Amino acid sequence: MSRLIAEAGAFLTNFPARGWLAYETLKARREDLIMVHLKGNRDGTSEVDYTVNPATGFPWATGPRNLTEPLNSVLPAWDIAMGELAAVGLLAADRHRERHGAGQLVEVALSDVAFAVVGHLGRVAQAKLHARDSPRRDGNYLYGAFGHDFVTRDERHVMVVALTSRQWKSLLTVTDTHQQMAKINEATGVDLDTESGRFEDRDLIAAILRPWFQARDLADIRTAFTGTGVSWGPYQTFSQLVEEDPRLATAMWEQVQHPGVGSYLMPGTPLDFSAVPREPVRRAPQLGEHTEEVLSDMLGLSATEVARLRRDGVIAPAITATVGP
């Protein structure tokens, strides 16, 4: 394995970086080695997304207003952010090596990623400077401007957001609520043409808009909003996403056959490069599927040597792919 890491020249791992996996040990095989080490906490102790998220403060700011307990997200946001940051770190180290000829160890801790995002969003400064935890939970309202969910006549849910002046004016034009919003201005003295004003009077705005959505089906709302500049989107289950959303019909998505599973849509990269054609979407490899290929192509092992490693239990037996459900 050490030889394989040295041959590749770049290594990403979440195993403890000690013993034969210590950077200095691996570096002895290749001086310009790049190693990205993913950790739970900076001190090396364990942490996962569902344990670090409770510490960020967001579970106490998420959910309906009357909820009295913390609410964790089912989206592993910190794992996703950490994965993206690890890729950026590896590419940055690779660029440094290209310029200066030197490798390096890059370390990133899951808790550092999570807490950095909390800080970048201003929540740490808010708690420190104002000594308060506001904002508290606010259901599906958008913080700082107007955004809320509405139920349609056919019992679908949509999210509508008015961050910019154009979005706000477009929303009032389509829903024909200019006069009613003007009355809110008169009654409360709050300027709804500002983001802060729309946030302050969000309950009154939602109450005025709610009947418009309740009187229309999702299809009618989609037609009414098309081309108007209104910022909105439907709430969808995973099945509704697959069956109804045209954005899953773009070049990023392809139907892929997976052994033992069947055929289903898989995404490629969301990145579109003007100088590089898009590669076909490939299925995920089965465990150990390319072991022999890696050992022979990268390390130059013979068929006899690979067979010996398999016989000794160092590598798993070759996988025979089966197609179909």
- Residues pairing with 12 in the sheet: 36
Residue 136, CB-side half-sphere exposure with 13 Å CA sphere: 8
**Which SS3 state, helix, strand or coil, does residue 306 take?**
helix
The span from the CA of 197 to the CA of 181, in Å, is: 12
Determine which helix (DSSP H) or strand (DSSP E) holds 17, and give its type and residue range: none
- Residues pairing with 162 in the sheet: 146
Single-letter residue type at 42 = R
DSSP assignment of 86-136, as one string?
HHHHHHHHHHHHHHHS--EEEEEEHHHHHHHHHHHTTHHHHHHHH-S--S-
Q: Out of 49, 79, 112, 201, which one is annotated catalytic?
A: 79
Single-letter residue type at 45 = T
The span from the CA of 277 to the CA of 263, in Å, is: 24
Residue 107, CB-side half-sphere exposure with 13 Å CA sphere: 14
Hey, what are 312's tokens?
A: 């000794």
Instruction: Name the DSSP class of 162.
Output: E
148 neighbors 206 (Cβ within 8 angstroms) = yes
Active site residue 312: no
Sign of CA dihedral 43, 47, 49, 50: negative
Which residues are part of the catalytic machinery? 79
